[in-house]
Structures are given as C-alpha cells and as structure tokens.
Structure 1
Amino acid sequence: MKKMIRTAAAAGCLLLLTAVPALAHKPSPDEALTMLKEGNARFVAGTPSHPHSDSARLIQAGTESQADHAIATILGCSDSRVPLERLFDAGIMDLFVIRIAGNVVDVDEAGSIEYGLAHVNTPVLVVLGHTQCGAVTAVTDAVQGHGHALERNIPPLVDNIAPAVKRAIAQHPEAKGKDVVPFGIEENVWQGIEDLFLSSPATRELVKSGKVKVVGAIYDVGTGTVKWLPEANTAVLLKKAEANPKRATKAMAGDH
C-alpha cells in the first residue's frame, strides 16, 4: 500500500514538473524567428528536443487557447517531405500551420494567414518553399512548352506560380530546362508574399506596426536545412503592394 502511495505521489510530482505553463508573454518577431532557427538547427544536427509533445501539453491543448502559445504561422507545401513541425523541432500548439501544394497564397490561404496573425497572435509568418517542388517543376515545364495534361482542379491551383517562373526565366537566361526550377522556387516564395500583401490589408498593417514579421525561406528536402531569404526583400514587396492601386484596401469583412 505504501509503495502504491509513493508511486502515485511520484507520478503527481512528475506531472507537475512536466506541465508546461503558458508563455508569460509572446516572443517578439525577432525572438520567435530565432526560436525557429534554433529548432531547425537541432533538427539538422539530429538532436531535436521534441518539445511540447507529452500528455501535459495535450491537457493544455484541451483547456487553453492556442493564442497563448503559438509562436509562428507557417505557410508551407503539402509535400510529404516537408514535415513543418518536425523541421522546426516544434510541438503541439507551437505553430499555426497552413499547407497547400506549391505554398501559394490565394483567398483561402490569405484568410488562414490572417487568422493566424490576428487571432492566434503569432508574431512571425514564414512562407516556406522547398527544393524539388513538384508544383514549381510542373509550371516550369508548362511555361517552357513541355507541359502535360493535368487533372481539372490542378491548373487553377498552380496558376499563381506562373508569374514567379516567368520572372525566374527572364532573370536567369543562362538557365535552361530543369535548371530554372531552383530559381523558380525562390521566386515563388516572393510571389506568395507579394500576393498576400496585395490581398490582405490586415497583414500589411500588422507588419507596418512592427507586431508581425514576414519572412521567406526554402527548405532543403535532402539535408533538412532551412535557408532564410533576405528580409529586406519583404520590405520592398510591402512598399510595392502599398503603391499598387489594385491592392485590397478594406481590412475587415463587411467593410464598404
């Protein structure tokens, strides 16, 4: 009987020790970005800590708001080689994740991002492309005249990628055939950010206020490494969107 009591007491103490409290405050955009970079470094090194993955975190997930915990919104590709939480060594309620083939930004994705930034209160948005992206490769083939028939719903999905591929071809005339794809993958990240800024006044305001940072990155499916793209480009795209007369101007649904 005493052994059972000691075992129960020990289990209770362990639960108290492993329970993870809500963040005292959300990290700043720069702090959150550093946390993501450190998580990816652990993943690449093969020393992940697998945080926030125990039963205590599940209890929190069922009783607390994700807005008190999530540190980043991630827009990534649906590709099975890109496990978003794992590659950032993140756990339950750490990331607000949106996955779509080609990591494109259209109405559904922009709305999901707005929710992640404005309601889950994440201080960082990462638009994450990846090497060997099938969507960018397919669009590159089509633009170069080597495309093939696709199922009816795929072309509208990847239409947003075409401008990025065309820019990549124009900017890198030395690249031929499949050699264009890596350039197209990076341009597609910037295309997603530009499309977001054009369609989301709420995101523009959050970035201008300093509450949110938007960054682009590319994940290498062969090494696990995240390559972070120049943050200065995001500011250029924001300024470009602000000057575009076709930009959306009403931040809230129902505004007239």
Structure 2
Amino acid sequence: MQADQALQKLIDGNQHFISATAANSEITTHLKPVNLGEKQKPFAVILGCSDSRVPAELVFHCGLGDLFVIRVAGNIVAPSQIGSIEFACQQFDVQLVVVLGHSHCGAINATVDALTVDQDTISPNIASIVDRVTPAVLPIVNAGNYGDRTDLIHQAMRANVEQSVNGLQMRSRQLRQLVRKGKLKIVGAEYSIESGRVDFYNQD
C-alpha cells in the first residue's frame, strides 16, 4: 500500500474511533483469522509511546496484522527502534512510518521536570530516556517562549516527535534512501487522550 493511501486509512480509522467513543459504543479490533500464521502484511509502522492509554490498533481502528507497532516510553529513537523499522520496510514493503506522540506523556513530563526542577530522583534507566528527549525540549525551556506548564509540555511533546522523525532519517541510511526515492514517508502525529483525535504533521 502506498504511503498516501496508508495515511488516509489511518485518518479514516481514527475518525471511526472518535465517533465510537463519542457515542459510547463498544470498540474492538477486528480479527482476521485467515492466513495470519503464514505471513504478516502491515500497511504502516507506528512508533508510539508505551503509555497504556494509547493503543495504536484501537486508536486507528485496525485489526491483527494491519500495523507494525513499536512502543517505547517517549516514542524515542534508539538503535533497536530504528532496526525494527528498517526490518518492517525491508520485509513487508511498508511505505508509511508514523511517529505518534500524545498528550500527558510521562516521558515528556519527566524531561521537563529534570530540566526545570530536579533530576536527582530519576533512576539511571529512566535518565537514559530523558537524555534522548532532552535535545528536543531544552531549546524550548531555554527560550522561555511558552505560556504555562501545559503549553510547555505540548510544545515539548511536539518537538520530541519532530526530533524522532528527523532522527529516523539522520541515523538510518536505509530509511533515508527510501525517503529520497519516494518509497517511504515518515510523518509525525499527536494523539489527544482527551478527544481521541490524531493530528498528523507534514502531510504535504
């Protein structure tokens, strides 16, 4: 499936999710029992956060085998995530990668706290996540061009998504070449836990 078709399918699926939640309807992932054991054919990769409130298959109204989902706190880019995406593009000819951030992200909150309050209470393992998010957030904190903490968190979340989008190309020659050849699109997006809506960046 081409990138633009895959993107539209995600947009349509998210609209279905929003409508279902607004109507307080039952939300389920549709199952496809045929041939799932033989080969997977996902149409998009989602690099999302581990947050339990952001299950990609439900948010995009997708079923088994539709999405290649990588979840890590803060939707950060590290070698294992890059390798997983390269694998999906190589093995399944996936042409769309979505980096999905979200509101009320714990990793973003932890990074903002580390930069503005105190980081002594952060464990070394959590610090490794914060360290990857910090380059996106530090310029915002230093510039001071934000209203309240809510605005700071939102700007930081968006900057972190954009950092991950850029990082996937900068740190992967394979992904970079696919983008240049027009065989892959990498886009950022943000999910609102309050509304259920996913807003995509850079759709042009």
TM-score norm. by structure 2 comes to 0.91
For 1:33-112, what aligned pairs fall within 5 Å after superposition? 33-46=7-20, 52-53=30-31, 57-63=32-38, 65-66=39-40, 69-112=41-84
Unaligned 5+ segments in structure 2 are none
How far does residue 163 in structure 1 lie from its aligned partner after superposition?
0.9
1:218 maps to 2:193 = no
Q: Percent identical across equivalent pairs?
A: 37
In 1, Cα distance between the equivalents of 2:143 and 2:9?
34
- SS across alignment from 1:217: strand
Name which of structure 1's ranges 92-101 and 136-145 shifts more when overlaid on structure 2. Answer: 136-145
- SS across alignment from 2:37: helix
1:186 maps to 2:158 = yes
How far does residue 148 in structure 1 lie from its aligned partner after superposition?
4.8
Q: 1:38-77 deviations in whole A, cap 9, x for unaligned?
A: 0000000007885641xxx2341112x21xx311000000
How far does residue 175 in structure 1 lie from its aligned partner after superposition?
3.1
1:199 maps to 2:171 = yes
Q: Is the 8 A contact 1:104 1:158 kept in 2?
A: no
How far does residue 147 in structure 1 lie from its aligned partner after superposition?
3.5
Corresponding position of 1:3: none
Corresponding position of 2:88: 116
Q: Is the 8 A contact 1:136 1:161 kept in 2?
A: yes
Q: Is the 8 A contact 1:168 1:184 kept in 2?
A: yes
In 2, Cα distance between the equivalents of 1:126 and 1:145?
32
Q: Is the 8 A contact 1:39 1:48 kept in 2?
A: no
Match 2:112 to one of 140, 165, 179: 140
Distance 1:62 1:167, change over 3 A: same
In 2, Cα distance between the equivalents of 1:86 and 1:73?
15
In 2, Cα distance between the equivalents of 1:222 and 1:40?
14
Unaligned 5+ segments in structure 1 are 1-26, 233-256
What is the CA RMSD across the aligned residues, in angstroms? 1.9
In 2, Cα distance between the equivalents of 1:148 and 1:220?
30
Structure whose alpha-carbon radius of gyration is higher: 1
Q: What is the total number of aligned residue pairs between the two structures?
A: 200
In 1, Cα distance between the equivalents of 2:12 and 2:144?
33
In 2, Cα distance between the equivalents of 1:49 and 1:162?
36
In 1, Cα distance between the equivalents of 2:118 and 2:149?
9
- SS across alignment from 1:211: coil
